[in-house]
Each structure stands twice: as C-alpha cells, then as structure tokens.
Structure 1
Amino acid sequence: MTYTRFAIYDAPSDDALAEFGATWLGWDIRTGCATDQPDVHGLDDITMTPRKYGFHGTLKPPFRLATGTDVGGLQVAVTEMAATCAPTKSGGLALTTLGGFLALIPTGDLSGLERVAGACVRALDPFRAPQSKADLIRRRKAGLSARQETLMLRWGYPYVMEEFRFHLTLSARMPDQDRAQWFQTAQANLPPLNEIYAIDSIALCGERADGRFELIQRYALTG
C-alpha cells in the first residue's frame, strides 16, 4: 500500500470504545474498512469530515515524508521513540463540545499525555516535509496567535507543544442550535467509559489514495 501522508495517533484499543468510534464515524481505522453507522438521521453528514481520519486522538499531525526519507526509516524511528517513551494515564474521557464539534477529551492530569505527544512531534520531525505555501495560507485563515504561528513554522502545525489539546473527534463543526441534540445522541450511543484513560501504545497510520487513514502498525510504549 502506498500512502500520501502519515500520522501518529492514539487509536483506542479498548474494544467497546474502538467499536463505538468506528461505528459512529462509519470507518474503522484499525481494519481500513467502512462500517454501518447507527440509523440516525443526519449522522452521515456530521461525520463526513472526520470519517476519513478514523476514530483517533492526534499525537503527531499528518505529514508528508521529507525528501530523502522513506517509510522503512520512519518505522525504525517510531520503534526507537516508543522504546524510550513511557506510557501514561489520565482521568476518564468526557463528552464535550470543542470548538463547535463533538469530541471526547480526557480529564484530570494531562501532563503525561502532553509528554507523549511532544515526544512524537520532536522525534519524528526529521521525516516531515515542509508545509506548502497553500497549507500555510489555509492554517492562517483560522486566525493564529503569534505563538501558534511560531509553532506552525517550526513543527508544521500550530496546535502542538503547549497549544496541544488531546481529543477524539466525533463530528464536524455544527451550528449552535444543533449541538445540544447531537450531544444527547452521542451520549446515548456511548459505551460505559472507564475512569482511567491509558495510552500504552501509539499507532502509525497512513493516508490511502482514497483520502482515508488506516492503521499501519501499533507500537507499545516501553520507556
């Protein structure tokens, strides 16, 4: 399989949570297959944007390979990074509305999670091709702060390091008047959530020719 971009995700391995995410979005990142969504009017529309990424929490945002690098080298680097990075735990996930879209976010102490994400961004940056001018222009339309601009120019994405906020996306941005209803619908479909959210592995994922991401390999955090 040839991939256009790569990313490091937390792809939940908890069966009930992972199954919920795959079914809700209509795409199973673990198997690279479409799934049947719940029979809920409008669900296909509000999940169309996040569907291609699958159910995940971003640790290192999608990137194209830099000139002179290859997938084999990237896999070696991810293996080495995972071997030096300790797993982490936070409080359980909570459903929330974040920036106009539905997401699950962890609660409690997030310093360990931020540590893992920072390690992924730093260690694998040599494999990231510079952003194109078009990408920079698109990102700047969001109205970046001075610090976010600096982070984007250094790491290829404005929401990393201290601007990072881990979340598992469940929808596209929605009109204000629709959010409460969709919050209730998502809440009704969620499985029971654990009181602890653990990240003990990271997932190297690739963007296929059809624009959808799939799991390439999972790496245990053993540092």
Structure 2
Amino acid sequence: MRYALYFTPPADDPLTQTAAAWLGRDAFGGRDLQIGETGTFPTEVFCELTADPRRYGFHATIKAPFSLADGRSEADLVEAFDRFCSAQPAFDIPSVVVDQLGPFFAIVPADIHKPLQDFAAAAVEAFEPFRAPLSDADVARRKPERLSEAQRNHLMRWGYPYVMDEFRFHMTLSGPVETHLAPAMHALATDRFSSFTQRPLRISGLALFVEPDRGAPFTVLTWKPLAGTENL
C-alpha cells in the first residue's frame, strides 16, 4: 500500500467534476465514468491517451507516492495530515493555463508562484518521516541516469526528483501524446477547461490518496481544507 499527498479541488468543485468526466474516473468515489466529448479523437484513442492520469485521478503531486516507514501507521499519517492542513493557510495561484510539458498536457500556473513552491516544499519535508526508503527497483524506475544532478540528489534525499527547486505544479490531463496529435489535444483541452483557465485557482485544501496495491487505481482517502479557506 502506498500513500500520496495530492492537490485536488473538493469533490463537488466544478473543476473536479469536469476533470473526472475528461479522464473517465472520479478519484473521490473511485468510480469509472463515461468519458465526454473527445473532439476529433476516436473514443478508444482518447481513452488510451488519458490512461496514465486516469489511474491516479485528477491531481497535482505535492508529495509523491510512498510506502509507510517502519513503525508508522495509517492512523498516524492521517493525524499528521490533519494537523498539517490545519496549520497551512489557503491561497490562490494567480492564473493557470493548459500547457504541454514534454509529451504531456496539464493545467499549470501561468508563472511560478512562490507561495505554491513554499507550500509544496513544506509538505515534502513534513511528511518525510512517514516515507519508507526507496528500494533499488524504485530508484531504477526513475531512470536516474536521465536526471540532472539536482534531480538525482532529490530522488535519494526525498524519494522523488521533482521537489524543492525542481518542483513544478501540474494537474495532468494526458499521458504521452505523439507530436502529430498534440495540436488537437491542446485545442480540445483548452476548450474543455476554458472556464477554469486564465484565472486564479484556489488552493483550498489537500488530499491524501491511497493506492491499495502497486498498479491499482488511486483513490482519495481523505480531503482536508487548509486554514482560512472560508475567508478566500
């Protein structure tokens, strides 16, 4: 069993519901959904292109999936999670856009936002005592030979290469998209999420996700509002 700290809006948020219909899965209920309009893509092609994020559910990684360290229990983790969320102030990312990250598409900040970077770094550090060390196989899966020196150092120190100075917030919308399909995917995603982009994204809470077995779909174990959410 593995756990992860992911940002996602609340279950009833319109962005959550739109993204669930896009991916064909609701991580809050663990339910498969009928995928909505797929534009120029045949449904089976679109399903293949979104298979990777579908398993994880709509989210942005804050602390990547980890097994519990010896002597730590799920109850301990949930208690620490509740304390962390209660102490962290809610905030807005000033503007988000649909963009391409390598071969993937995602909703990302229009610009790097320091409060977001600080929030993610605080979560990575706060929950490090709960993370079991990576196995050799875990390290190999990250292909350290392809990482920069800073990313390799983060992998060995924090269990994930894209943290601290390497962290880039992204809410994944697709798996790898071949070059000739990228313009159509960008157009479709931009249209589908137009109600949520070019405007602020509220970071009002944090979710603790769970993966019961390696390779199984992730689901939301608990979602907790951040401090001051009601005042935003």
Q: Is 2:163 aligned against 1:163?
A: no
What is the CA deviation profile of residues 159-216 of structure 1, one whole-angstrom value per residue up to 9, with x for unaligned ones?
0001000000000111111101111122222251261111121111111346111111
* 55-64 or 182-191, which deviates more: 182-191
| RMSD of aligned Cα (Å) | 1.6
Partner Cα distance (1:102, 1:118) in 2 = 23
Partner Cα distance (1:102, 1:212) in 2 = 20
What is the CA deviation profile of residues 25-84 of structure 1, one whole-angstrom value per residue up to 9, with x for unaligned ones?
111111111111025311101011111100011111111111111100001111121222
Q: CA deviation at 1:104?
A: 0.5
Tell me the equivalent position of 1:220: 225
Q: Which runs of 4+ in 1 moved over 4 A?
A: none
Partner Cα distance (1:92, 1:183) in 2 = 18
Tell me the equivalent position of 1:206: 210
Partner Cα distance (1:114, 1:39) in 2 = 34
Q: Which runs of 5+ in 2 are unaligned?
A: none
**SS class of match (2:142):** helix
Among 57, 61, 71, the residue aligned to 2:60: 57
Tell me the equivalent position of 1:12: 9
Q: TM-score, normalised by structure 1?
A: 0.93
Q: TM-score, normalised by structure 2?
A: 0.90
* 186-195 or 53-62, which deviates more: 186-195
Instruction: Call closer, same or farther: CA 1:186–1:142 in 2, change over 3 Å.
Output: farther
Tell me the equivalent position of 1:110: 113
Q: CA deviation at 1:138?
A: 1.7
- Aligned length in residues: 220
* 103-112 or 65-74, which deviates more: 103-112
Matched letter for residue 4 of structure 2: A
8 Å CA contact 1:204–1:218 kept in 2: the answer is yes
Q: Which runs of 5+ in 1 are unaligned?
A: none
8 Å CA contact 2:99–2:107 kept in 1: the answer is yes
Among 129, 136, 140, the residue aligned to 2:139: 136
8 Å CA contact 1:17–1:191 kept in 2: the answer is no
